[in-house]
A and B are shown apart, each in its own frame.
Chain A
Amino acid sequence: EDQVTQSPEALRLQEGESSSLNCSYTVSGLRGLFWYRQDPGKGPEFLFTLYSAGEEKEKERLKATLTKKESFLHITAPKPEDSATYLCAVQAGNNDMRFGAGTRLTVKP
């Protein structure tokens, strides 16, 4: 069965303090790994899609990387507005998207 595990569950950073979020996965036939940002009371907002090991994508202060077993979301010099829950999801051949439990990030000014 496909599994997605995110760590840590919660992360508190000072503004400017860089860190990484982890997403470990087991899936048969990965078709895509996705990172989403979710603010309280809102639906997930798309950040990145990664398709193969070694792939990297960047957007502003965020950088996502992918290996055969895990993905990292690196946050460089975060700002308070980066505070949110970051969700990782995998998609296999059946088109279902399975989510991890998320990492709740809080960035203090």
Chain B
Amino acid sequence: GAVVSQHPSRVICKSGTSVKIECRSLDFQATTMFWYRQFPKQSLMLMATSNEGSKATYEQGVEKDKFLINHASLTLSTLTVTSAHPEDSSFYICSATLGPVGYGYTFGSGTRLTVV
């Protein structure tokens, strides 16, 4: 089945530094990937939609200069949290579409970011 690999699974960084999270589709080409953020005991909140070869589309309230998304190939999307602060600590999850609308997504295993 379709697999999305996400790395790293956990990262701790100092306040003010940047962190890059990778999301790869292993056995299929993903023209569209999605990045979600999840706080403890809360649901997944869509941050941005990443389209291969074009600029990402960010949800209202998500700072595009802080959360840089690059989707340079059909199998790789990256999320870079720039100048991270403790309030950016969260669980970040990527996903990829499996087909046209209605086919759903497959998800990565998530990245736990802790900013100290």
Contact = CB atoms under 8 A, between A and B. Distances in A.
Contacts, number: 62
Interface string B30-48: 0010100000011111100
Interface residues of B, number: 26
Interface string A8-49: 000000000000000000000001101010000111111001
B56 to A, nearest CB: 13
A104 B45 CA distance: 17
A41 B40 CA distance: 10
A43 B7 CA distance: 12
A25 to B, nearest CB: 13
Contacts of A93: 101
Given A95-B97, A98-B46, A99-B43, A41 B102 contact: no
Contact of A91 (B6, B93, B104): B104
A91 B43 contact: no
Nearest to A45: B107
A44 B32 CA distance: 18
A46 B102 contact: no
B109 A43 contact: yes
Q: How large is the interface on A (under 10, 10 to 19, 20 to 34, 35 or more residues)?
A: 20 to 34
A102 B115 CA distance: 26
B49 A41 contact: no
A73 interface: no
B58 interface: no
Nearest to A97: B105
Interface of B: 4, 6, 32, 34, 41-46, 49, 91, 93, 95, 97, 101-110, 112
Interface of A: 31-32, 34, 36, 41-46, 49, 51, 87, 91-102, 104
Given A34-B104, A95-B49, A97-B34, 6 more contacts: A32-B102, A42-B109, A46-B104, A46-B106, A96-B46, A96-B49
